[in-house]
Chains A and B, each alone.
Chain A
Amino acid sequence: MIAEFGQISLILALVLAILLGTLPLWGAYRQNDALMNLAPSLVAGHFVFTLAAFLSLATLFLRHDFTVINVATNSNLLLPWYYRISATWGSHEGSLLLWILMLAGWMLAVAVMSRKVLPKVFLTRVLSVMGLISIGFLLFTLLTSNPFDRILPGPIDGQDLNPLLQDPGMIFHPPLLYMGYVGFAVAFGFAIAGLLGGRIERDWVRWSRPWTLMAWAFLTGGITLGSWWAYYELGWGGWWFWDPVENASFIPWLLGTALIHSQAVTEKRGAFPAWTVLLAIAAFSTSLLGTFLVRSGVLTSVHAFATDPERGVFILAFMAVVTGAALLLYALRAPRIMTGKGFDFVSRESALLLNNVFFAVSAGMVLLGTLYPLIIDFMGWGQISVGPPYFSAMFILLMTPIVMLMPLGPFSRWGQDNLKRVMAPLLISLVVAIVAGLAIAALLGAFNLRAITGWIGGIWLIMGSLSYFWRQKSQSRFKLPRGQLGMVMAHAGVGVFIIGVGMVESMTYERDVRFGAGDTLEVAGYRFHLHEVASVKGPNWIADEGRFTVYRGDREIARMQPQKRLYHRGQQVMTQVALRPGVFHDLYIAMGEPLEDGTGDWSIRVHIKPFVRWIWGGAFLLGIGGLVAASDRRYWRQQRAEAEREARAEDQGAQPA
Chain B
Amino acid sequence: MTPTRKKRLAVIGLMVLGVSTATAIALVALNDNIRFSIGPSEIVAGDFPEGRQLRLGGLVAAGSVSRDPTSLLVTFDVTDCIHDITVNFNGILPDLFREGQGVIAHGTLDANGMFQAHEVLARHDETYMPPEVARAMALAGGNEVCGEPIEDHIASVEAGY
Interface SS majority for chain A:
mixed
Given contacts A382-B37, A514-B70, contact A390 B124 (CB under 8 A): no
Q: Is the CB of A369 closer than 8 A to any CB of chain B?
A: yes
Tell me which residues across on chain B come within 8 A of A538, comparing CB atoms. Answer: none
Partner of A372, one of B15, B30, B126: B30
Q: Is the CB of B92 within 8 A of A387?
A: no
Q: Is the CB of A383 within 8 A of B124?
A: no
* Surface stretch bound by A, among B79-87, B130-138, B144-152: B130-138
Q: Is the CB of A605 within 8 A of B92?
A: yes
Given contacts A382-B36, A397-B22, contact A593 B93 (CB under 8 A): yes
Name the residue of chain A whose CB is nearest to the CB of B96. A573
- Least CB distance, B85 to chain A, in whole angstroms: 17
Q: Is the CB of A592 closer than 8 A to any CB of chain B?
A: yes
Q: Is the CB of B95 within 8 A of A575?
A: yes
Q: Is the CB of A357 closer than 8 A to any CB of chain B?
A: yes
8 A Cβ contacts from B97-156 to A? 104, 124-128, 130-132, 135, 155-156
Q: Mark A611-642, 1 if CB is under 8 A from B, else 0.
A: 00000000000000000000000000000000
Partner of A513, one of B8, B18, B72, B132: B72
List 18 extra interface pairs beyond A383-B37, A593-B93, CB under 8 A.
A235-B95, A304-B128, A306-B125, A306-B127, A306-B156, A307-B156, A382-B36, A383-B132, A384-B35, A386-B34, A387-B34, A387-B53, A389-B32, A390-B32, A393-B29, A394-B25, A572-B96, A596-B67
Residues of A within 8 A of B (CB): 162, 235, 297, 300-302, 304, 306-309, 342, 344-345, 350, 353, 357, 361, 365, 368-369, 372, 382-390, 393-394, 397-398, 512-514, 564, 570, 572-575, 590, 592-593, 595-597, 599, 603, 605
Tell me which residues across on chain B come within 8 A of A385, comparing CB atoms. Answer: 34-35, 37, 55
Q: Is the CB of A308 within 8 A of B156?
A: yes
Give Cα distance in the complex from A308 to B130, angstroms: 14
Q: Is the CB of B125 within 8 A of A162?
A: yes
Q: Is the CB of B30 within 8 A of A383?
A: no
Given contacts A300-B132, A357-B19, A573-B95, contact A386 B156 (CB under 8 A): no
Q: Is the CB of A390 within 8 A of B36?
A: no
Q: Is the CB of B10 closer than 8 A to any CB of chain A?
A: yes
Give Cα distance in the complex from A345 to B4, angstroms: 10
Interface centre among B15, B22, B96, B158 (most CB of A within 10 A): B22
Name the residue of chain B whose CB is nearest to the CB of A571. B126
Q: Is the CB of B158 within 8 A of A361?
A: no
- Least CB distance, A247 to chain B, in whole angstroms: 14
8 A Cβ contacts from B26-74 to A? 26, 29-30, 32-37, 53, 55, 67, 69-72
Nearest 7 pairs between A and B by C-beta?
A592-B92, A383-B37, A390-B33, A306-B155, A387-B33, A297-B156, A306-B156
Q: Is the CB of A383 within 8 A of B135?
A: yes
Partner of A383, one of B15, B36, B128, B158: B36
Q: Is the CB of B29 within 8 A of A390?
A: yes
- Least CB distance, B54 to chain A, in whole angstroms: 10
Q: Is the CB of B35 within 8 A of A597?
A: no
Q: Is the CB of B37 within 8 A of A309?
A: no
Tell me which residues across on chain B come within 8 A of A353, comparing CB atoms. Answer: 11
Interface SS majority for chain B:
mixed
Give Cα distance in the complex from A242 to B35, angstroms: 14
- Least CB distance, A622 to chain B, in whole angstroms: 24
Give Cα distance in the complex from A95 to B95, angstroms: 25
Give Cα distance in the complex from A162 to B32, angstroms: 35
Q: How many residues on chain B are close to A (CB under 8 Å)?
A: 45
Q: Is the CB of A384 within 8 A of B37?
A: yes
29 A-B pairs (CB sep. < 8 Å): A162-B125, A300-B130, A301-B124, A302-B124, A304-B156, A306-B125, A306-B155, A350-B11, A357-B18, A365-B26, A368-B26, A382-B36, A383-B55, A383-B131, A383-B132, A383-B135, A384-B36, A386-B30, A386-B35, A387-B33, A389-B33, A393-B33, A394-B26, A575-B95, A592-B93, A593-B93, A596-B67, A597-B67, A603-B91
Tell me which residues across on chain B come within 8 A of A597, comparing CB atoms. Answer: 67, 69
- Least CB distance, B111 to chain A, in whole angstroms: 23
Give Cα distance in the complex from A342 to B26, angstroms: 32
Tell me which residues across on chain A come within 8 A of B90, comparing CB atoms. Answer: 512
Name the residue of chain B whose CB is nearest to the CB of A397. B25
Tell me which residues across on chain B come within 8 A of A394, comparing CB atoms. Answer: 25-26, 29
Q: Is the CB of A344 within 8 A of B7?
A: yes
Name the residue of chain A whose CB is nearest to the CB of B65. A596
Q: Is the CB of B30 within 8 A of A368?
A: yes
Q: Is the CB of A369 within 8 A of B69?
A: no
Give Cα distance in the complex from A235 to B91, angstroms: 13
Interface centre among B19, B34, B35, B132 (most CB of A within 10 A): B34
Name the residue of chain A whose CB is nearest to the CB of B70. A514
Give Cα distance in the complex from A89 to B101, angstroms: 28
Q: Is the CB of A365 within 8 A of B126?
A: no
Give Cα distance in the complex from A592 to B71, angstroms: 13
Tell me which residues across on chain A come within 8 A of B32, comparing CB atoms. Answer: 389-390
Give Cα distance in the complex from A533 to B135, angstroms: 40
Q: Is the CB of B126 within 8 A of A390?
A: no
Q: Is the CB of B22 within 8 A of A398?
A: yes
Q: Is the CB of A603 within 8 A of B128?
A: no
- Least CB distance, B25 to chain A, in whole angstroms: 7
Tell me which residues across on chain A come within 8 A of B104, comparing CB atoms. Answer: 300
Q: Is the CB of B128 within 8 A of A345?
A: no
Tell me which residues across on chain A come within 8 A of B125, comparing CB atoms. Answer: 162, 306, 572
Tell me which residues across on chain B come within 8 A of A592, comparing CB atoms. Answer: 72, 92-93
Give Cα distance in the complex from A389 to B26, angstroms: 11
Tell me which residues across on chain A come within 8 A of B131, comparing CB atoms. Answer: 300, 383
Q: Is the CB of B72 within 8 A of A514?
A: yes
- Least CB distance, B37 to chain A, in whole angstroms: 4
Give Cα distance in the complex from A540 to B33, angstroms: 42
Tell me which residues across on chain B come within 8 A of A300, comparing CB atoms. Answer: 104, 130-132
Given contacts A385-B37, A386-B33, A397-B22, contact A512 B69 (CB under 8 A): no
Given contacts A306-B156, A390-B29, A397-B25, contact A512 B72 (CB under 8 A): yes
Give Cα distance in the complex from A516 to B152, angstroms: 40
Give Cα distance in the complex from A361 to B23, angstroms: 8
Tell me which residues across on chain A come within 8 A of B130, comparing CB atoms. Answer: 300
Give Cα distance in the complex from A464 to B11, angstroms: 26
Give Cα distance in the complex from A67 to B70, angstroms: 51
- Least CB distance, B116 to chain A, in whole angstroms: 16
Tell me which residues across on chain A come within 8 A of B155, comparing CB atoms. Answer: 306
Given contacts A368-B26, A394-B29, contact A603 B156 (CB under 8 A): no
Name the residue of chain A whose CB is nearest to the CB of B36. A384
Tell me which residues across on chain A come within 8 A of B29, comparing CB atoms. Answer: 389-390, 393-394
Name the residue of chain A whose CB is nearest to the CB of B37. A383
Q: Is the CB of B4 within 8 A of A306?
A: no
Q: Is the CB of A345 within 8 A of B95?
A: no
- Least CB distance, B73 to chain A, in whole angstroms: 10
Partner of A574, one of B36, B55, B95, B156: B95
Q: Is the CB of A342 within 8 A of B11?
A: no
- Least CB distance, A217 to chain B, in whole angstroms: 28
- Least CB distance, B42 to chain A, in whole angstroms: 10
Name the residue of chain A whose CB is nearest to the CB of B55. A385
Give Cα distance in the complex from A394 to B29, angstroms: 8
